[in-house]
Amino acid sequence: MRDVIIIGAGGGGPIVAKELAAQGLDVLMLEAGARNKTPETNWKHFENDANNPLSGYLRFGPSDRSKPSWYREVTQPAMISNLSGVGGTTQHYFGNSPRAMPGVFKGYQGDDAQDYDRDFEFPFSYEELTPYYEWVEATLPVQTAAMGTSEQVFFNGCENIGMSVQVTKDTFQDGYRAQQNAVLQPSGNAGRTTNKSDLTYPLAKGCTFCGHCTQGCYEPLNAPRNLKARRSTDNSYVPMALTADLWAVQGKAVTLVADAYVTQIHTQQINGKTTATGVSWRDVNTGEIMTENAKVVVMAGGCIENPRLWLNSGLPNSHDWVGRGLTDHAFDFVCGIFPFNTDSSKGVGSSARADFPGKGCIEPSSLGPAGLASNLMMSDSGIRGMYDNGRGVFGEWDGPSGRLIGNEFKNFMSDVNKTMGMLIITDDDVEANNRVEPSSLMSDEHGAVPKMTIHKRTRSQRTLDNREFLANKAASILRAAGASEVLRIDIVPLLLHLQSSMRMGDDPQNSVINANGEAHEVAGLFVADNSALSNALGGPNPTLTTQALATRTSEKIMVQYFSGTPWVNSNEPMSSIDDAITQAVLARGL
Amino acid sequence: MRKNSPPNDSQLNEDEAPLSTPRRDFLARSGLMGAVAAISPMLLASSKSEASLLLSDSVIRDVFNAMTLDTFAGVSAFVLPGNDWHSISQGHFNLKKGAKAANTQQFLLDNLDNYLPWPKDIAGPILSEVARVFSNAAKPIPFGLALVLKPLETLILNKLDEYMDRLIDGSQTVPLGHVFSLILNVTATLVNPLAIGGSHLAPFSRLSFSEKAEVFKRLETGEPDLSELISLNLNEAQSEMFPTLMATFSRTLIQLTAFGALSEWHALDQTTRELTVRPIGWDLTQYLPNGNVEGWDDFLGYYQDRSQVDA
Ligand SMILES: Cc1cc2nc3c(=O)[nH]c(=O)nc-3n(C[C@H](O)[C@H](O)[C@H](O)COP(=O)(O)OP(=O)(O)OC[C@H]3O[C@@H](n4cnc5c(N)ncnc54)[C@H](O)[C@@H]3O)c2cc1C
């Protein structure tokens, strides 16, 4: 019997794994997808090879690429962009690590308190989470992003519309700034040359500006796994978890099993309470079913799979809130074309941002041509000039919203380095009818597949207004930065950021887990990924907050189930790039 | 069961058993009859028994593949036109290479057939329902071809029908490329009934640029009469899903086309995963002018020299 079993090795799971392994617990982490042990030889800087959602090496599917991806039913057009594999969706995330808006936490007293989704706030204060932010920021580590050409263009735009610069991590007013990124910043030759032989570690350290975050980070070449530039969990927390015995005083290395799809959480009635006792998983390659027991089970399969697993396991759901309240930041995409170089296919996925408390955020994004084209095509407003699908919205951009097609599209794409795409990341409301449930129509070898209902046009008025505000703001910034043409795509739900489908709250009537991260209705069952978040955080990219919360949840598990004491306020965090970790990683051959 | 020995009478009768009207109309309307003649021209001079042999499983599969590829070539030309015949014939082209030159039609076929799992318990009823709804207004195949193929019409339609049955029932998932192409072609003939005959194999590819947009409009917006008809025969869950499937289908197709066309796909050796030529999409977008790099010399320092911030 294990101390703890963690389901899912994505943005959240490895945080709990590393923290509890460092405390000496016996931890088993199960991951449905592949373990990419040698990205430097297996991954490439090719967009289709990596990111084709059906067949790429980064997709939500089995590690065997000749097999189809795993299906999800959507009740409305949407594009799901999460991944399986050790590192989960962080394998192609941008590493943007802003803290949440303080306004979404309990007890917030700012003048703008009513601008947020007050009905679904976090059940504790922002100040309480701050030490956990600091701990994670030091561990990953999170650093202020360097500037490249595209950031300079974006900053010019922000300056020209009179915005103020934000010089803190905490966000209390509108402002623009360099991102706080979970990316090692360039040193040595990194960012200063295109010459391959000068870009190997240790000649180059940190981000080489290659422009391929979305294809998975393996730069700089020859760097030990924990010194790869982008701090996806496969490069940061997972190496720490797998070597905890080598660097933590009483640490015990985590057991990681990939290609292991958990299909059942087992429970028993203990002391009159439904209590988690273990899990069964299916070996994705052989079909074999395995079972292990544990004192504590942690769900970290992400916002889509957690509700599926919960409900397929027949766990209690008295208030019908499992899978509900899903937030997705109601993304949009606004894109400009410039008469000068923006170099937008270079550098980190995003290194700059603008935040608008109570409304959301905007960030420029660096993409290759296929990724950019794909975003440009995702419109809910039909084809510009041909049909508008009942939308075709006007604003600060040129003409109606919609996708380009034919020669117009080809002309727009004629120089990818003269474009700049801006992601609109809306502070969206928790709404019960945005949800994940098991499909009644389809199942696969892991049970009924998840069915997702993501409303776009019928979100709360606040959500819709916020999205419009941000789209207009993005268009203004692009124009002030010198764009000669600005398009608004009005995309269908693009599910990069998913939050709150197993939300944390005090009230079991509208939440699944309590303020400690433990299920209201199942003892010993915790949730520690994006689905645990209480709300959409006010718009900031979610992973850092998930990781801070998962750190806090790890302490709660240790105290409540293993008679431990909290450590975040009393210890110094070990950075994942500390030499002790590098030595441990090399010693273990990771 | 089909064998390679000449068919006897009872088999022929079986081949000629009349199809249910909706399925038959759907198949006729999809342009597949014409495609059969184009792929297997010997058919035009064949007797029924010879024709039955000629129309082997592999020929029928080739027909579906050829039809699907031609349909997707029409989609490629629509999304990212170039100087190819599919672009020129839609009346919207340019002097550079386009998606078709990047073999995007094959990219779509490979991905949709092999990787997008559409379980048959969904695809089956939906496809039958699409067949029923789309075939309401029956249309003739082109006069000349109709005359020549008339004696074989039932035989051919039955062969196509059997293949469709196998598509739906044969495996766990349905090859979506074929399904997508059927839907596009039948919608194409609703948009322009003359598309049933013409220069390309697929009715969709015979449409003008604006007619192609009309096809996508119908699928994306869901014609009111279409959804009303649908709700008559699908169960609640299926009819709820149908408009979303059609809208998702059309958006996915357009999105995948743009993505595939501008990616490295056509230029990548799938075994070595190295480029064999410079990708067309990279040229069109001036991406990576000197090929792939491990890094760029784009570091400009820190904004306002701030390389770290406090809480
Ligand atoms: C292109 C892109 C860019 C992004 N950029 C950023 C960014 O810059 N900043 C940011 O904060 N966020 C970003 N995100 C979002 C970020 O990736 C997610 O917030 C984060 O990965 C969520 O972590 P998670 O643990 O909830 O889910 P995931 O990371 O998706 O991990 C869940 C894991 O659990 C596994 N799993 C699921 N079910 C089971 C099961 N039953 N059994 C076993 N394993 C299972 C999955 O295979 C997966 O590996 C980005 C996302 C995308 C797509």
Nearest-angstrom CA–CA distance, A502 and A499: 8
How far A76 CA sits from the closest chain B CA (Å)? 5
The secondary structure of A482-537, three-state, reads: CCCEEEECCECCEECCCECCCCECCCCCCCCECCCCEECCCECEEECCHHHCCCCC
pLDDT, residue B29, reads: 64
Residue A96 alpha carbon, nearest atom of ligand 1: 8
Nearest-angstrom CA–CA distance, A543 and A389: 34
Q: Is A102 in the pocket of ligand 1 (CB under 6 A)?
A: no
Nearest-angstrom CA–CA distance, A201 and A340: 33
Task: Map out the domains of chain A as residue ranges.
Answer: 2-588
Amino acid type, B232: L
Q: Is A95 in the pocket of ligand 1 (CB under 6 A)?
A: yes
Q: Is A93 in the pocket of ligand 1 (CB under 6 A)?
A: yes
B78 has which bridge partners?
none
Residue A83 alpha carbon, nearest atom of ligand 1: 30
Q: Per-residue confidence at B226, pLDDT binned at 50, 70, 90?
A: very low
Q: Which two tokens stand for residue B266?
A: 């056509």
**DSSP H or E segment with residue B60:** helix B57-79
Amino acid type, A308: R
Judge: B117–A48 Cβ closer than 8 Å, yes or no.
Answer: no
What is the per-residue pLDDT across B192-224, written as a single tens digit (0 to 9) for each? 988 877 889 899 999 999 999 999 998 888 764
pLDDT, residue B128, reads: 63
What is the per-residue pLDDT across A380-423, written as a single tens digit (0 to 9) for each? 999 999 999 999 999 999 999 999 999 999 999 999 999 999 99
Nearest-angstrom CA–CA distance, A85 and A87: 6
How far A277 CA sits from the closest chain B CA (Å)? 33
Residues 458-497 of A with CB under 8 A from B: 492
Judge: B309–A180 Cβ closer than 8 Å, yes or no.
Answer: yes
Span from the CA of A216 to the centroid of ligand 1 (angstroms): 13
Check: CB of residue A220 under 8 Å from CB of residue A205: yes
Q: Is A357 in the pocket of ligand 1 (CB under 6 A)?
A: no
Phi, then psi, of A290 in degrees rounded to 5: -120, 150
**DSSP H or E segment with residue A273:** strand A273-283
Q: Per-residue confidence at B176, pLDDT binned at 50, 70, 90?
A: confident
How far A255 CA sits from the closest chain B CA (Å)? 31
pLDDT, residue A441, reads: 78
Q: Is A463 in the pocket of ligand 1 (CB under 6 A)?
A: no
A336 has which bridge partners?
A420, A486
Nearest-angstrom CA–CA distance, A354 and A162: 12
A192 in contact with chain B, both atoms CB, cutoff 8 A: yes
Query: Who among B285, B293, B301 is closest to A413 (CB)?
Result: B285
Mutual angle of helices B104-114 and B57-79, in 10-degree steps? 120
Q: Is A496 in the pocket of ligand 1 (CB under 6 A)?
A: yes
A208 in contact with chain B, both atoms CB, cutoff 8 A: yes
C-alpha dihedral (B123, B125, B131, B134), degrees to nearest 10: -90
Phi, then psi, of A488 in degrees rounded to 5: -110, 130
Judge: A416–B286 Cβ closer than 8 Å, yes or no.
Answer: yes
Nearest-angstrom CA–CA distance, A550 and A391: 40
Check: CB of residue A184 under 8 Å from CB of residue A229: yes
Of the residues A18, A69, A89, which should be mutated to test ligand 1's pocket, given the most ligand atoms within 8 Å of the CB?
Answer: A89
Q: Which two tokens stand for residue A111?
A: 């003048």
How far B159 CA sits from the closest chain A CA (Å)? 28
B296 has which bridge partners?
none
Nearest-angstrom CA–CA distance, A385 and B151: 46
Query: Who among A178, A346, A413 is closest to B284 (CB)?
Result: A413
- Higher-confidence residue of B30 and A146: namely A146
Measured CA distances, A15 to A31, A240, A300, A408, B284 (Å): 14, 10, 10, 46, 43
Contacts of B280 (CB under 8 A, 6+ apart): B97, B101, B102, B261, B266, B267
Phi, then psi, of A205 in degrees rounded to 5: -130, 145
Residues 131-160 of A with CB under 8 A from B: 134, 143-144, 146-149, 151-152, 155
How far A486 CA sits from the closest chain B CA (Å)? 18
pLDDT, residue B14, reads: 45
Nearest-angstrom CA–CA distance, A494 and A367: 15
Amino acid type, B137: A
DSSP category for residue A229? S
Judge: A409–B263 Cβ closer than 8 Å, yes or no.
Answer: no
Judge: B296–A148 Cβ closer than 8 Å, yes or no.
Answer: yes
- Higher-confidence residue of B141 and A332: namely A332
DSSP category for residue A10? S
Q: Which two tokens stand for residue A413?
A: 């794409």
Nearest CA to ligand 1 atom 39: A301
Span from the CA of A141 to the centroid of ligand 1 (angstroms): 18
Q: Per-residue confidence at A442, pLDDT binned at 50, 70, 90?
A: confident
Judge: A390–B221 Cβ closer than 8 Å, yes or no.
Answer: yes
Span from the CA of A292 to the centroid of ligand 1 (angstroms): 24
Q: How many helices (H) and strands (E) does chain A have?
A: 13, 22
pLDDT, residue B129, reads: 59
pLDDT, residue B178, reads: 80
Nearest CA in chain B to A221: B294
Of the residues A7, A96, A543, which should be mutated to test ligand 1's pocket, given the most ligand atoms within 8 Å of the CB?
Answer: A543
Q: Per-residue confidence at B141, pLDDT binned at 50, 70, 90?
A: very low
Query: Who among A78, A346, A383 is closest to B296 (CB)?
Result: A346
Nearest CA in chain B to A190: B295
Report the Cα B99 to chain-centroid distance in Å. 15
What is the per-residue pLDDT across B109-131, written as a single tens digit (0 to 9) for each? 988 877 665 666 666 666 665 55
Query: Who among A68, A152, A170 is closest to B115 (CB)?
Result: A68
What is the per-residue pLDDT across A58-76, written as a single tens digit (0 to 9) for each? 999 999 998 888 988 888 8
pLDDT, residue B4, reads: 37
Span from the CA of A558 to the centroid of ligand 1 (angstroms): 24
Q: Is A305 in the pocket of ligand 1 (CB under 6 A)?
A: yes
Percent of residues, chain A, with pLDDT higher than 70: 100
Nearest CA in chain A to B241: A75
Residues 543-582 of A with CB under 8 A from B: none
Span from the CA of A11 to the centroid of ligand 1 (angstroms): 5
Span from the CA of A89 to the centroid of ligand 1 (angstroms): 3
Q: Is A84 in the pocket of ligand 1 (CB under 6 A)?
A: yes
pLDDT, residue B243, reads: 72
A510 in contact with chain B, both atoms CB, cutoff 8 A: no
Biggest CA pair distance of chain A:
70
What is the per-residue pLDDT across A133-148, written as a single tens digit (0 to 9) for each? 999 999 999 999 999 9
Domain A2-588: give its CATH code. 3.50.50.60
Span from the CA of A91 to the centroid of ligand 1 (angstroms): 8
Average of per-residue pLDDT across A5-14: 98
Nearest CA in chain B to A142: B308
Q: Which two tokens stand for residue A296?
A: 């504590």
Nearest-angstrom CA–CA distance, A519 and A313: 14
How far A189 CA sits from the closest chain B CA (Å)? 9
Residue A543 alpha carbon, nearest atom of ligand 1: 11
pTM for this model (two decimals): 0.93
